[in-house]
Each structure stands twice: as C-alpha cells, then as structure tokens.
Amino acid sequence: MRTAEQYRAKLRSMRKNVYIDGKLVERDDPQLIPGQNVVAETFNFAADPKYADLMTARSHITGKVINRFTHIHQNVDDLLKKQEMTRLLCQYVGGCIQRCMGVDALNALSVVTRDCDLAMGTNYHERFLKYLEYYQENDLVGNCAQTDVKGDRMKRPHEQVDPDLYVRVVEKRADGIIVRGAKAHNTIAPYADEIIVIPTRFMTEKDADWAVAFAVPADAEGVYLICRATAPRPRKELKAPFAEYGSADSLTVFDNVFVPWERVFLCGETKFAGQLALQFANFHRHSYTGCKPAVTDIIMGAAALVAEYNGIEKASHVRDKLAQLVAVAELVYGTGIAAAVKAHQAASGTYVPNFVYTNVARYHAGINIYHEHEILADLAGGLPATLPPEGDFLNPVTRDFLHKYIMRNPAISAENQHRCFRLCSDLLCSAHTGVRQVGGIHGGGSPIMEKIAIMGMYDMEAKKKIAKRLAGIKD
C-alpha cells in the first residue's frame, strides 16, 4: 500500500494536461491541493493500525492486504465495511471522500465483464483481473468517467448531430482502439492516477460504437482535463481542518486517445452497456449510503453546536429540527445496511448490494440535501451570511469590536464563537456550498434517476396482486 506522500509524489511526476481557468498547470497547483488533502486521508487511515480492519482487505486475487478502496466485495461484511469506512472518512474530511468512484467502477466491471463473457464468449473478465491486480498492487486512485456531455437530451448517441457528444470508438486497431469524446463532472480526475471510462446509459444496437469501457492513465496522450476547483475560503491565520479540504472536477476530453486492448473492457456489446451503467450506479449509490449520512452528520454537528452557542439548544423547535437531521442520516444509513444484508452474489463472485435499497436510500438523501442546509441556516441565524471576512478579525480596531459583539455565552471564548460561525459560513455561504448542494442532488444520479431505476426494477405487479385479492378481483 502507498503512503499519502507517495501518492502526491506520483502526481507531481505526471504529464501536464490539467487546465484551470485557462492555464495549463502542474498537479501541485495550489487549487488542486485541497482535493489531494482529501484523498491523502484514504492512505493515512489505511496506514493507521487502529483502522486496519475497516480500511484494508485481503485481495481475492492475490491474497495480499490492500487498501479497501481497491477491493472487490467478497461478502456482506465487505459491503458493510465499505459503508462504514465511507461515513468515517467523510466525517473526517468534512464532505465527499472522492476515492469511492474508482472502487465502485472496479466492482461494476468485475460483475459485468464476467456476465458479458458468459453471454457473448468474450474474455473481458481475464483482462479486467489483470488490470485489477496492477491497480491493487500500486494502490491507485481512480476516477470513474461516466456522464457523457450528451448533446440533445432527447436523442440517442447515434442520432446526435455531432457523433462525439457521447464518447465513442473512432478506430479499432490490432493493438487497441482510438476513442474520442468528452465526459463531464469528473470529480477527483485532476489528481487521480487512472480514469476509468464506462457508458452512461442503455444503448440500442445502432449505438455499438458508443458501447465502450476502458481505463487510461489520467495523463495519457490526448487526454485534456479542463477543471474547476472549489474549497472553502482559504484562511490567513485562523486555520481549521474544514478549510484545508476541497475538491476539483474536470470536463475530460478524449481527443483521439489510444487505448491498448488490455485496457478495454467493453467494445460494442451494446446489451452490456446499460448493465454496466446500472451496476456502477448501484455500487455508487451504496457508497452514498455512507457518505451522505456523514454530510448530514457535519451539518447536524454544526447545527447543534451553533444552537448551543446561541443558547437555544433546549428549545423545542431546535430539538425538532435536529431530530429531522438524525432521521435523514439514519434512514439513509440504515437502508444502506439493508442493501448490504440483502446483497446477492454475481457470477463473478462479487457481492452486489440490493438494488431497491441502494436506490431508495440515495433518493432520500437527494431530496433532503437542500432542506438540510435550510435547517442549519434556520438555527444559525443570519450571521453566516454577514460574518465579516477573516481580515476584520485580525485588524486590531475591528477585531476588538467583533470579539465584543460576537459574544453570546460568556463561558465560551470569542474566538471559538467566531470559529463556529466561520464553519457555518463556509457550510452555508461559500462557493463550496452550492457545489455541495448541486452535488447532493445530482452526484451518483439525481432523485429522478433513482425513481426511474426503482420503477424499472420493483415488483409492482406483486403489489397489484395484493390489491386485486383484497378487492376480490380474479385475473
């Protein structure tokens, strides 16, 4: 397993293909550090013996101890631990741990490459296992690039005016394929080792050129990462862990990128494109049952703390709102536990969480994210929006006024009251806020996608039968 420092060193050695605000930058650009700080914790925690059981696993292919973020789930317990690990780490970094998408993509590939081989006589699974061994041995960080830019939302890939609006195979060669197109919303990509590309939707036979899955190094020739980074406002003196973490994502352009066959995991088998999209969504939504409760934990912790500092912690409406937050966190987490407990084993041996439970849990998280911010805003009052910038707390003239007038509870120092409101301000009123809100809705699939998924899989006929019997209707 790697250390955080080895991870950072590797990033520094990579080919320069990251753009930020129009500039081509190195991977240690200051804007990318907050995101790397997040990923670094996945190495730090794995190296801590206290978390060995949670953070590491034994590879089912090599038998070696590996970071759980590179592991294929072999049983229910693996799924429960992934969920628990995710919540713990997200609590620690104050939000999305980001590295889950790589392991979720690997698990989906483990299932679908095998199913495809069984149905079509291909041999993707063997290829995949070799790639997996390389990934585990090197303890890599993977981005999963799924969402195509999609052009006209009402048209399929082959119907688009510009065929590149979904990533596609433009040439097949003896040694590999050439791909072109772009994937959007690729969190972690600017500081990942690998980019794992999978389809974004079900495809028809006419969409064969678009039914493609593969992996490339993030700095492969022809790959352009056009990025946006966000983090809470940087602190001058009043350092706080929350302000050290952030994220960045990219629009990832594949401009005639060559991929050797050993890194190609689907190529034209349209029937399995949708399966792969669905399986990734399923594993990723299960990850959400770990991360999203952590996001609620942070909002809840901040809300309880600011209510305490405001002296209103015992007020009935405050306790009512905190209980609402508990309910959101624990319904999502509890249903995630059920998804693990009711998992089934795929042909590949991989444990696949229960589809209905992952989807209703992710759905519930998605429809509550704005309301959770609303609760925190409600309990924190207006100050998060009007808190003077840090500089005013450093200038002696204004600092004295601010320390005098911020006081609510004489038992707590002005600095700590200030720190509490600055955290609330970062949570509610920074550029990072909106990214968390929009990500809370759309990341891993919007509520409307989960509803569609649920209605596609749920046994509604069984429920109609219950009603028919009670009504005395005989078919």
Minimum CB–partner distance for residue 164 and a second copy (Å): 7
Q: Is 297 in the site for a second copy (CB under 8 A)?
A: yes
Burial class (CB in 10 A: 0-12, 13-18, 19+), 343: buried
Of residues 323 through 382, those in contact with a second copy by CB under 8 A are: 323-324, 326-327, 330-331, 333-335, 337-339, 341-342, 356-357, 360-361, 363-364, 369-371, 373-374, 377-378, 381-382
Hey, what are 194's tokens?
């690998």
Stretch that binds a second copy, among 7-15, 57-65, 266-274, 292-300 (CB under 8 A): 292-300
Q: Output 138 or 446, the one with its CB closest to a second copy.
A: 446
Give the per-residue contact string, 300-319, with a second copy (x = CB under 8 A; - = no). xxx-xx--x-xxx--xxx-x
Among 226, 266, 278, 343, binds a second copy (CB under 8 A): 226
**Phi and psi angles of residue 121, each rounded to the nearest 5 degrees, phi first:** 75, 15
Minimum CB–partner distance for residue 18 and a second copy (Å): 11
Q: Is 119 in the site for a second copy (CB under 8 A)?
A: no
Instruction: Give the bridge partners for 214, in sequence order.
Output: 197, 264
Minimum CB–partner distance for residue 259 and a second copy (Å): 19
Among 227, 259, 266, 273, binds a second copy (CB under 8 A): 227
Q: Output 122 or 287, the one with its CB closest to a second copy.
A: 287
Q: Output 209 or 372, the one with its CB closest to a second copy.
A: 372
Q: Output 205 or 400, the one with its CB closest to a second copy.
A: 400
Q: Output 134 or 202, the one with its CB closest to a second copy.
A: 202
Among 13, 50, 121, 154, binds a second copy (CB under 8 A): 154
Give the per-residue contact string, 250-279, with a second copy (x = CB under 8 A; - = no). -x-x-x------------------------
Minimum CB–partner distance for residue 217 and a second copy (Å): 20
Stretch that binds a second copy, among 48-56, 180-188, 206-214, 263-271 (CB under 8 A): 180-188
Of residues 30 through 89, those in contact with a second copy by CB under 8 A are: none
Q: How far, in whole angstroms, is CA 447 from its chain's centroid?
A: 15
Q: Output 62 or 409, the one with its CB closest to a second copy.
A: 409
Q: Output 136 or 359, the one with its CB closest to a second copy.
A: 359
Among 13, 161, 174, 175, binds a second copy (CB under 8 A): 161
In whole angstroms, give the CA distance from residue 283 to residue 105. Answer: 8
Q: Is 217 in the site for a second copy (CB under 8 A)?
A: no
398 labelled binding-site residue: no
Q: Is 298 in the site for a second copy (CB under 8 A)?
A: yes
Minimum CB–partner distance for residue 346 and a second copy (Å): 21
Q: Output 110 or 359, the one with its CB closest to a second copy.
A: 359
Q: For residue 178, how many other CB atoms are within 10 A of its CB? A: 16
Of residues 397 through 436, those in contact with a second copy by CB under 8 A are: 397-398, 401-402, 404-410, 416, 419-420, 422-423, 428-431, 433-435
Q: Is 162 in the site for a second copy (CB under 8 A)?
A: yes
Q: Is 234 in the site for a second copy (CB under 8 A)?
A: no
Minimum CB–partner distance for residue 193 and a second copy (Å): 21
In whole angstroms, give the CA distance from residue 7 to residue 407. Answer: 44
Q: Output 3 or 160, the one with its CB closest to a second copy.
A: 160
Minimum CB–partner distance for residue 1 and a second copy (Å): 25
Strand pairing category for 18-20 and 223-230? parallel
Stretch that binds a second copy, among 63-71, 104-112, 142-150, 169-177 (CB under 8 A): 142-150
Instruction: Output the 3-class SS for the chain.
Output: CCCHHHHHHHHHCCCCCEEECCEEECCCCHHHHHHHHHHHHHHHHHHCHHHHHHHEEECCCCCCEEEHHHCCCCCHHHHHHHHHHHHHHHHHHCCCCCCHHHHHHHHHHHHHHHHHHHHHCCCHHHHHHHHHHHHHHCCCCEEEECCECCCCCCCCHHHCCCHHHCCEEEEECCCEEEEEEEECCCCCHHHCCEEEECCCCCCCHHHHHHCEEEEEECCCCCEEEEEEEECCCCCCCCCCHHHHCCEEEEEEEEEEEEEEHHHEEEECCHHHHHHHHHHHHHHHHHHHHHHHHHHHHHHHHHHHHHHHHHCCCCCHHHHHHHHHHHHHHHHHHHHHHHHHHCCEECCCCCEECCHHHHHHHHHHHHHHHHHHHHHHHHHHCCHHHHCCCHHHHCCHHHHHHHHHHCCCCCCCCHHHHHHHHHHHHHHHHCHHHHHHHHHHHHCCCCHHHHHHHHHHHCCHHHHHHHHHHHHCCCC
- Give binding residues for FAD as ranges: 187
